[in-house]
Amino acid sequence: MILSFDTSCDDTSVAVLKNDHSYSNIVSSQNEIHKKFGGIMPEIAARNHIQMIYSITEEAIKKADVTMEMIDYVAVTTGPGLMPSLLVGVSFAKSLAYAYNKPIIAVNHIEGHIFAPFINRALIFPFVALIVSGGHTHLFFVKGVGNYELLGKTVDDAAGEAFDKVARVLNIGYPGGPVIDSLSKQGNPYRFNFPKGLSKKNTLNFSFSGIKTAVNNLVKKMQSLSKTDVIDIAASFQRSVIDVLCEKTEKACTEKGVKNLVLSGGVSANSLLRESFKIMAEKNGFTLFMPEKEFSTDNALMVAKAASLREADATYDYAKIEADPRFKIY
């Protein structure tokens, strides 16, 4: 039984994994707080983690109907992420583990996303994984737990970051991903042709800063935007990003000769992206694994899942567990 924490970014999350079909997973979103800034303020995120973490932990334990005595391991995201935010979760988890004499497991946040689709499913290796979030756009060849080959990554903005920045330019709200996702359903995705960064180049790397600039320039040029203009820009932007994500991932699977495909991270909650990946997987005979939408965005249950695959890393040497904003898994 694992009690897990994720405070890598702006969401405070605590989960209890009892077994693959029984768990609690509490996520306290800070979206309302960061909305007015149009992005995450690290210092403010950390302060809110401090305010929330105790009550969220009580809630997760209560909902799972367990006591601290019943917990076998404590697990916590130690990186990558925002240092002030990570420090809150790491300090809290370490204190709790020490007080109750429980071993602790340090988890990499990206590894959490990689295994999120397997929260209530059997694990299959090898697979190609596209992790698309607010901070990451990474393509991995996953041969086993801890055995990751980086095939490609963004050379500038992450895909989720591009959604958030474009939403800010269009003045439609924060976080941008869910707003663009729902607005685009009524828009014309072929009205504007935005650049598809690095799509013509023979590389599995991505680039999303060009499309963000193109949207910015178009908005300046058009001066005043009607509601239809905004919706069409959102839909056209979303189509271009999804086309590139699909094309590169398909190429990665073909090059590696891999039939299992994982799509995960916050942006994997996007309905068109999920649909496009389903179609691409079906066309190629790939088996596609995606997290339930609630496990696409940041949550502590994926941290518990990753920890459950790393029991050998559990330690009572609490001094060894440190926040590391640049914690790499490849």
Footprint of ligand KG4 (CB under 6 A)? 9, 133-135, 160-161, 163-164, 175-178, 181, 265-267, 269-270, 297-298
Say which entry of ligand KG4, Zn ion, none residue 164 contacts (CB below 5 to 8 A, set by partner kind). ligand KG4
Length of the chain: 330
Rounded least distance, CB 174 to ligand KG4, Å: 8
Rounded least distance, CB 304 to ligand KG4, Å: 16
Rounded least distance, CB 82 to Zn ion, Å: 11
Of the candidates 266, 274, 270, the one whose C-alpha atom is nearest the C-alpha of residue 249 is 274
204: enclosing H helix or E strand: none
Interface ranges with Zn ion (CB under 5 A):
133, 298
* Crossing angle for the helix pair 83-100 and 42-64, to the nearest 10 degrees: 30
Say which entry of Zn ion, ligand KG4, none residue 269 contacts (CB below 5 to 8 A, set by partner kind). ligand KG4
Closer by beta carbon to ligand KG4, 152 or else 160: 160
Pairwise CA distance, residues 180 & 183, whole Å: 5
Q: Can you spell out the DSSP letters for 172-188?
A: --SSHHHHHHHHHTTS-
What is the helix, strand, coil percentage profile of the chain, to 5?
A: 50, 20, 30
Say which entry of ligand KG4, Zn ion, none residue 264 contacts (CB below 5 to 8 A, set by partner kind). none
Structure tokens at 194: 């935005």
Rounded least distance, CB 16 to ligand KG4, Å: 20
Q: What residues contact 328, with CB distance under 8 A and at least 6 apart?
A: 80, 108
Rounded least distance, CB 24 to ligand KG4, Å: 19
Say which entry of Zn ion, ligand KG4, none residue 163 contacts (CB below 5 to 8 A, set by partner kind). ligand KG4
Handedness of CA 112, 131, 327, 210 (dihedral sign): negative
Closer by beta carbon to ligand KG4, 140 or else 163: 163
Closer by beta carbon to ligand KG4, 249 or else 297: 297
Closer by beta carbon to ligand KG4, 117 or else 266: 266
Pairwise CA distance, residues 201 & 294, whole Å: 34
Say which entry of Zn ion, ligand KG4, none residue 79 contacts (CB below 5 to 8 A, set by partner kind). none
User: What single DSSP character describes residue 326?
Assistant: T
Largest CA distance in the chain: 63
Say which entry of ligand KG4, Zn ion, none residue 297 contacts (CB below 5 to 8 A, set by partner kind). ligand KG4
Closer by beta carbon to ligand KG4, 117 or else 134: 134
Rounded least distance, CB 135 to ligand KG4, Å: 4
For residues 271 and 184, the answer to whether their CB atoms sit within 8 Å is no
Q: Can you spell out the DSSP letters for 293-309?
A: GGGTSS-SHHHHHHHHT
Tokens 């690095």 — which residue? 198
Closer by beta carbon to ligand KG4, 12 or else 71: 12
Structure tokens at 20: 């693959």
Pairwise CA distance, residues 6 & 53, whole Å: 10
Closer by beta carbon to ligand KG4, 236 or else 297: 297
Say which entry of ligand KG4, Zn ion, none residue 152 contacts (CB below 5 to 8 A, set by partner kind). none
Q: Can you spell out the DSSP letters for 258-272?
A: --EEEEESGGGG-HH
Closer by beta carbon to Zn ion, 109 or else 239: 109
Rounded least distance, CB 42 to ligand KG4, Å: 13
